[in-house]
Structure 1
């Protein structure tokens, strides 16, 4: 069984929490794209954990975690993340963590270039809202064939050093010529690679073969995405996207088994909207600054990877319907329903009014999206604490009505409803 858990919106939907929950039914959890610009926060009986690179299944002792070829991996960050989890009592060994030899390495100069370019763009107000983790520059170099891969750490020989010299020479033309930055030292980069080769050599392997063998043996694999459909490089709000494919259809490819097909696609959708970064976000226009502040505080909406305050607004059903379509969802997990407990009435963006005066329920792109205005409808709130609910019948009628309205609006059944941050704080709703 091959299941993908993906984001329906802009990211930050609570995918890590859902992977942590659902992974109890799986043998393997695999990340298939992105890098340490992800921020998955998981709270369970062992504490609170913030994961950037590691799959959320790492918190379950009987699950094997895979970092796929579609990822970009910063070994320095990964080492720090692993050590922090170990300090929190999480065991991480080559037995429960396997890193693809085809995954691309994020080098220190990728991070430096990201920061320099974002600073340059910020002077003109044209920045993308980058997390400054070097993700775009790693992917860019990957497609120009100017990167190293994790498998190269297994044989740091003269041929790898020769490639590194070529890459550094090319990068220095940009760093010195465009940014007036200090030149990159080949020797320093080589020493950096040697350091992390010693740390990760036992973790690096052919994860594609591992996953293929596991699937053939009847093992259950859960694919974990970073960000959401609206940040996909092809189908998202380009250019305000990430640099990889976040959609579920890419999961087998990015994990290492491109000939396999998904069995099930679970989309994760928040009960309201939030995003980190720049770009069109129509739903935030539906609330006053005071209302957005109240929602941000109620949902603790600050980026797990960056600490930045997230932009917030009501649930956007236009964007969510499009996200369900992109992810090919068989079912939806609705998260953070409890955050709306304080509201007397629940706002929802049900359509967009375009600059030409027309109204649409289809998600637009380009200038139409940039200038769209939200059409808002309301449902009565439940105005009580629902965090103790564990069955559908425990929810107030108004909360049930809200969930059922969302199901019809996005065209997909909602089978999981999160009512709190803790692992057990959810309702499995199967009709």
Structure 2
């Protein structure tokens, strides 16, 4: 079976989650390769209606391995809530069917706070962020100032790394935005509350994907948002902060040698997108409501 990437053609909101859920019957592995919890993939099945923000949409299919790749903004707090919601609906989530790259970086509490503070500072010039911390997260990643998921497995090193980052980040929070900032105890408590439960799922997903490829397994690569939100090729600066086009799938998945045999583009009959900002126009009144009702 071929390797396939599923990408939104618009600005997101095209229904990629349903398409991934539908196609996973034909694939062995589903990988999320970029983005964070700033948009949702809605899946409707016999268990109910679910808005997945981080979990790959193949999580409902038995026998399918789901992977969060190194290109993902790993928000342990939201991921844990999502896992608990699905488990309550009878969905099995174990380290056998969910694997998290040890090279994925953690989205920390200050990323969300900085996102909101900067949008507030921009006022009527804001970019339309969903305020889930995505832009500050990727900014820190490119500055080499994030914590990798694999560091959770080394507590003493993690504590020292967090202390270093905290000193740097508080300078921005306190001196630029006048915010309170964080203490190391607060950060460690957050890690203990949300990240400890995620640790059993963290592994070398590159090695797993290499083995899967050698064994002839088929891989489905799941993008978040749409191509027109791509950082390099989208409606800059009203884009997301990662690359949502299919070409990034091998890099963000953890298998840079992967060859894409097929790309499925999902298009919506009418455009809609999450967030706000100067690019977005919103339709009000009876016509707008009819579209919302028709599109659910």
TM-score band by shorter chain is over 0.9
Q: Which residue of 2 aligns with 1:216?
A: 214
Q: 2:290 matched to 1:294?
A: yes
Counterparts in 2 of 1:237-386, with a 5 A limit? 237-277=235-275, 278-280=277-279, 290-300=286-296
Is the partner of 1:181 in helix, strand or coil? coil
Alignment RMSD, CA only? 1.6
Counterparts in 2 of 1:10-29, with a 5 A limit? 10-29=11-30
Q: Which residue of 1 aligns with 2:140?
A: 141
Is the partner of 1:171 in helix, strand or coil? helix
Structure 1 or 2: more helix by fraction: 2
Displacement of 1:183: 2.1
Aligned residue pairs total: 294
- Residues 32 and 225 in structure 1, CA contact (< 8 A), matched pair in contact too: yes
Task: Give the greater-gyration-radius structure (CA).
Answer: 1
CA distance in 2, matches of 1:288, 1:189: 42
Deviations 1:83-129 (A, max 9, x none): 0110011110001000000001000111111111112222xx01111
- Residues 154 and 201 in structure 1, CA contact (< 8 A), matched pair in contact too: yes
- Residues 70 and 252 in structure 2, CA contact (< 8 A), matched pair in contact too: yes
Q: Which residue of 2 aligns with 1:343?
A: none
CA distance in 2, matches of 1:57, 1:174: 39
Q: Which has the higher contact order (CA 8 A, sep 6+)?
A: 2
Q: Which residue of 2 aligns with 1:378?
A: none
Displacement of 1:296: 2.4
CA distance in 2, matches of 1:6, 1:34: 12
Displacement of 1:46: 1.9
- Residues 156 and 194 in structure 1, CA contact (< 8 A), matched pair in contact too: no
Displacement of 1:199: 1.0
Could you tell me which runs of 5 or more consecutive residues in structure 1 were left unpaired when the two chains were aligned.
Answer: 301-431
TM-score (ref. length: structure 2): 0.95
- Residues 130 and 274 in structure 2, CA contact (< 8 A), matched pair in contact too: no
Q: 2:56 matched to 1:55?
A: yes
